[in-house]
């Protein structure tokens, strides 16, 4: 059994992309998590932060079926959906510059801003942020928004803002975000009992009101060079705490992503690149 794939990244957040319109994946359906773990292994497989199947959809133009590198399914991936846009463009699955994508977080709209054979810039309407604690979900803070609330993790007390962009995020503003030991505190926050479905964790330093620096620990993937939904959550948290404007550049380890939380429709718009690295056959 073998299938063709393309390897894409969005600001260094990298994915094994499979065009399931063209590739027959039926032989793998019984244990997709095992396939994902094998394919995403950076020593014995292709290597990636996750694997994305580009599938047909009954409710949208395309469906994004997303798995973290550890084989767990996740609702959404902001950098991943831009990479999906790259696959759709490169494989000519549509001639349209804008199309809808079914995700675990609902149907999102993606528009191609710039296109090349192996690179795109896309703007994604990420929808409205979810801010009420039970819907994120976050436990132990009542039913209201969790904004700058204390979170005790071992010997440390963080001030955390909770946001869901279809997947949960804990955003923590810190002046020492650049030097903080992410490999220590990221998994400790991710698995904290406050988060019943675990959480993505963003440590953020404000540079000015239109630029922030973000480092991320992703649920199910660990340290990554970028997290698209995380950049959206960081900007929403920046606005909620009075730190940033509604349109802000977010610097991640792998590049810069532009995020706007529109005051008129309450939707978050994320604009950034995606690039094809290589193609191959995985057996």
Eight-class DSSP state of 106:
E
Q: What is the pLDDT of residue 19?
A: 98
What does each of the 283 residues of the chain score in pLDDT, given as a tens digit? 799 999 999 999 999 999 999 999 999 999 999 999 999 999 999 999 999 999 999 999 999 999 999 999 999 999 999 999 999 999 999 999 999 999 999 999 999 999 998 999 999 999 999 999 999 999 999 999 999 999 999 989 999 999 999 999 999 999 999 999 999 999 999 999 999 999 999 999 999 999 999 999 999 999 999 999 999 999 999 999 999 999 999 999 999 999 999 999 999 999 999 999 999 999 9
- pLDDT tens-digit readout, 24-48: 999 999 999 999 999 999 999 999 9
Q: Return d(Cα 245, Cα 205) in angstroms, integer.
A: 14
pLDDT digit string, tens, across residues 155-185: 899 999 999 999 999 999 999 999 999 999 9
pLDDT of residue 158: 98
Domain with 119, as residue range(s), is: 3-127+273-282
Residues 199, 111, single domain; the answer is: no
CATH number of the domain that residue 22 is part of: 3.10.310.10
Q: Tell me the C-alpha distance between 32 and 18, whole Å.
A: 12
pLDDT at residue 1, rounded to an integer? 78
User: What is the distance between the alpha carbons of residues 99 and 93, in angstroms, rounded to a whole number?
Assistant: 11
DSSP 180: S
Q: Is 155 exposed, middle or buried (0-12, 13-18, 19+ CB in 10 A)?
A: exposed
Give the total number of structural domains in the chain. Answer: 2
Helical pair 228-240 and 78-90, crossing angle rounded to 10 deg: 140
Are residues 277 and 252 part of one domain?
no
Are both 121 and 26 inside the same structural domain?
A: yes
Instruction: Tell me, yes or no, whether 138 and 121 share the same domain.
Output: no
**Are residues 152 and 194 located together in one domain of the fold?**
yes
Residues 140 and 258 in one domain: yes
Is the pTM higher than 0.75? The answer reads yes
Instruction: Note whether 220 and 250 are same-domain residues.
Output: yes
Catalytic residue IDs:
77, 227
Are 183 and 62 part of one and the same domain?
Answer: no
Same domain, residue pair 118 and 145 = no
144 and 120 inside one domain: no
Alpha helix (H) residue ranges in the chain: 32-40, 78-90, 182-190, 228-240
254 and 162, same structural domain? Answer: yes
Residues 155 and 88 in one domain: no
């Amino acid at each position: 059994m073998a299938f063709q794939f393309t390897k894409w990244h969005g600001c260094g957040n990298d994915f094994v992309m499979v065009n399931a319109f063209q590739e027959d994946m039926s032989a793998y359906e019984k244990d997709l998590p095992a396939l994902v773990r094998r394919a995403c292994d950076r020593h014995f497989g292709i290597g990636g932060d996750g694997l994305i199947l580009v599938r047909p959809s009954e409710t949208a133009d395309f469906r994004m079926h997303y798995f973290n590198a550890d084989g767990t399914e996740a609702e959404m991936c902001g950098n991943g959906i831009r990479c999906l846009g790259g696959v759709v463009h490169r494989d000519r699955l549509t001639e349209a510059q804008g199309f809808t994508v079914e995700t675990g977080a609902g149907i999102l709209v993606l528009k191609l801003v710039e296109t090349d054979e192996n690179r795109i810039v896309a703007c994604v309407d990420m929808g409205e942020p979810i801010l009420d604690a039970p819907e994120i979900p976050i436990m132990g803070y009542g039913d209201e928004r969790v904004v700058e609330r204390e979170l005790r993790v071992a010997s440390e007390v963080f001030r955390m803002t909770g946001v869901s962009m279809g997947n949960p995020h804990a955003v923590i503003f810190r002046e020492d975000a650049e030097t903080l030991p992410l490999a220590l505190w990221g998994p400790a926050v991710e698995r904290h009992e406050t988060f019943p479905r675990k959480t993505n964790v963003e440590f953020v330093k404000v540079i000015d009101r239109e630029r922030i620096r973000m480092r991320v620990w992703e649920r199910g993937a660990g340290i990554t060079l970028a997290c698209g939904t995380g950049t959206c959550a960081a900007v929403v948290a920046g606005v909620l705490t009075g730190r940033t404007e509604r349109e802000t550049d977010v610097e991640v380890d792998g590049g810069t992503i532009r995020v706007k939380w529109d005051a008129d429709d309450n939707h978050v718009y994320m604009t950034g690149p995606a690039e094809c690295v290589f193609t191959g056959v995985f057996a």
